[in-house]
Amino acid sequence: MCLAIPGQIISLVDEAPHSALIDVMGVRRKVDVSLVEPDGIAPGDWVLIHVGFAMSKIQEQDAVEQLRMLQALGEATAAMEEVRGYSADEEGSSP
Amino acid sequence: MRYIDEFREPELIARTSEEIRRLVDPARHYRVMEVCGGHTHAIYRFGLKDLLPENIELVHGPGCPVCVLPMGRIDDGLSMAADPNVIFTAFGDMMRVPGTHGSPLEHQARGADVRIVYSPADALKLARANPGRHVMFFAIGFETTAPSTALTLMRARAEGIRNFSIFCNHVTIIPAIRAILDSPDMRIDAFIGPGHVSTVIGCRPYEWIARHEGKPIVVSGFEPLDVLQSVVMLLRQLRAGEAKVENQYRRVVPWEGNRAALKAMADVFTLRSYFEWRGMGFISQSALALNDTYADWDAEKRFAIPGLRVTDPKAAQCGEVLKGVLKPVQCKLFGNECTPELPVGALMVSSEGACAAYYQYEHRKSALVSLPA
C-alpha cells in the first residue's frame, strides 16, 4: 500500500474520464490520473502510482531509480502483484 | 561499510558519510527521527546505521499506517464482516494484522467474505458488479492514500452507487509528530520528513516544527544517498543553530504539495476531534472522517459498530516501539513469540513496520554472525 510504483503513460483513455493506460515493467493497467492532470500529462510521461492513482509526475531517470529501489528493498514482487491486482477495468470483472 | 559496494554511487556515499563525520560534534548525542516507515525499511535494508557515527541515533517514527491502528479499530472493521451480505475489502497489508479474534485472513478462513483489493477504486468496482451485496472498504493510510479514497467516494456519489461504504481510518502525519514532541519521554533533535506524504501535503505544514519547536526537518527521498544527504542537511542546521524546513526530495516533492489531492480531501473529509493511535493514545485532530455530504457512504453511520477499545497484549510493547522509546529487539516478544510468520503486533506485519524491518535485516544478520564458522 505504501509502495510508490513508477509507470509510464501509454495512452489517455477516452471512454473513462481521468484514466490512463500505464505500463509498469510490461504490465499495463488503467490508472486514475486526476491528480496529475493539472500538471499536464501526455503519453510517454512517467508517474508515481499509489494504490491505483497516479500521485506525481517524475522524470524517467527517477522512475528507473525508483524501480531499482523497489528491487533492492525486496518490494518489486509486491509492487508487480499490486499492479497486476488493479482490476483490468472491464465492468463486472472481479479483481 | 560492508554494504557500500552495492550502492549505486559508492564514492558519493562514502564522501557523504565522511562529511557527516566531519559535521558531528563528538561530545553530543543526536537523536534523529525518521517519521516514515518507508525510510525505516530503507535504513535497515541498506544498513545505513553502519554509515553513521555512533552518536547519531536513528529513532523510528509512527509513519506506518498499519502499525498505528489500534486493535479496537480492527475489531470494529471486522464486526462488519460478520454480516453475510457484506464483502469486506482491504489492502493486502491489513490482511494479517491481528484483531482480538484473529486477522481478516483468519475471519476469511472462518467463512467471512474478505477480499484483498489493491485500490479503493477496485472496491467500488466490486460494488458495481455485486449490486445485491454491500461492499465495505477498510480505508487506512496517511495523506498518501487518503486522496485516492476521496476520489473513489466522489465517483460513488456521482454514479449513485449505494451498496458501497468506507470504514475510514485515514490519519494525518502532523498531529502525530506534534504528539511525539509533546511526549515527555521523547527527546528528538531533528526529523527526516516523510517523502510520499509530502508529495500530497507539501513542505509548508512542517514549518511549525521548525518555527515553534525549534527542530530542523528535511523532507527526504528513500535512496541511501537521499537519507545520508538529509542527515548532512540536518547536521548543518544543528551546527548553525538553525531550525528550518528543507526539501531534499525536490525531484518528487513540490513545496506546495499536490493541490488537486488536497482539494479532493477537503471536499470529502472532515477532521475528527480525536482518534486513538496504537501506543500513543488519543491524539486530537489526527484523523479523517467522511463529511456529512458522504454520510450515506460512511460505514460508521451505516453499521452498528461496537466502537471497541482494546488494549494490546500485555507482553507486547508495540506502543513503546512505535514512539521510538524502545528498539524492536528490546520488546520481550520480539523474535520468539512475535515473528513475521506469526505476528502478535502490527509492527511485525507490514514491511514498513519497525519490527518486521528489524527482523528481516538486523535480526537475521546477528543470527548469521552467531552461527559457528
Q: Is residue B229 part of a domain?
A: yes
Residues on chain A touching B118 (C-beta within 8 angstroms): 51-52, 81-83, 85-86, 95
- Say whether A56 and B38 touch across the interface (CB within 8 A): no
Same domain, B110 and B151: yes
Interchain pair B117, A95: CB under 8 A: yes
pLDDT at residue B364, as a whole number: 66
Highest mean pLDDT among B54-58, B306-310, B345-349, B350-354: B54-58
CA distances from B2 to B50, B116, B128 (A): 8, 39, 53
Distance set, CA A88 to CA A31, A92, B270 (Å): 10, 10, 32
Q: Which residue of B has its CA nearest to A90?
A: B125
Tell the residue number behind the cell numbers 546505521, with chain if given: B49
Looking at residue B89, its amino acid is T
Please give the backbone phi and psi of residue B215, each rounded to the nearest 5 degrees, phi first: -115, 130
B218 in a domain, yes or no?
A: yes
Chain B 230-249, CB below 8 Å of chain A: which residues? none
Using the predicted structure, report yes or no on whether residue A90 has a pLDDT greater than 60.
Answer: no
Answer whether residue B371 shows pLDDT above 70. Answer: no
Range of the domain at B17: 9-63+174-247
Residue of B129, B151, B196 lying closest to A32 (CB–CB)? B151
B251 contacts chain A (CB < 8 A): yes
CB B122 within 8 A of CB A95: yes
pLDDT tens-digit series, residues B47-104: 898 999 999 999 998 889 999 999 999 999 999 999 999 999 999 999 999 999 999 9
Q: Is residue B82 part of a domain?
A: yes
Q: Answer whether 0.90 is exceeded by the pTM.
A: yes
Written as nine digits, the cell of B366 is 546477528
Chain-centroid distance of CA B3 in Å reads 26
Grid coordinates representing B17 are: 558519510
pLDDT at B363 over 80: no
| B59 and B178 fall within a common domain | yes
Q: From the CA of A87, how many Å to the nearest CA of chain B? A: 6
| Cell 561499510 -> residue | B1
User: What is the total count of domains within chain B?
Assistant: 3
Tell me, what CATH number does B159's domain have?
3.40.50.11740
**ipTM for the whole complex:** 0.91
CA-nearest of B345, B363, B354 to B327 is B354
Domain assignment present for residue B268? The answer is: no
Q: Which of B8, B119, B144 sits opposite A86 (nearest CB)?
A: B119
Q: Are residues B155 and B233 in the same domain?
A: no
Of A53, A86, A92, the CB nearest to B147: A53
Task: Decide if B370 is inside a domain.
Answer: no
Place of cell 499495463: A28
Please state, in angstroms and rounded to a whole number, the distance separating the CA atoms of residues B170 and B65. 8
Mean pLDDT, rounded, for A69-79: 89
Domains by residue range for chain A, with CATH: 5-85 (2.30.30.140)
B72 and B27, same domain (yes or no): no
Terminal-to-terminal C-alpha distance of chain A: 16
Hey, are the CB atoms on B258 and A74 less than 8 Å from each other? no
Residue B16 within a domain: yes
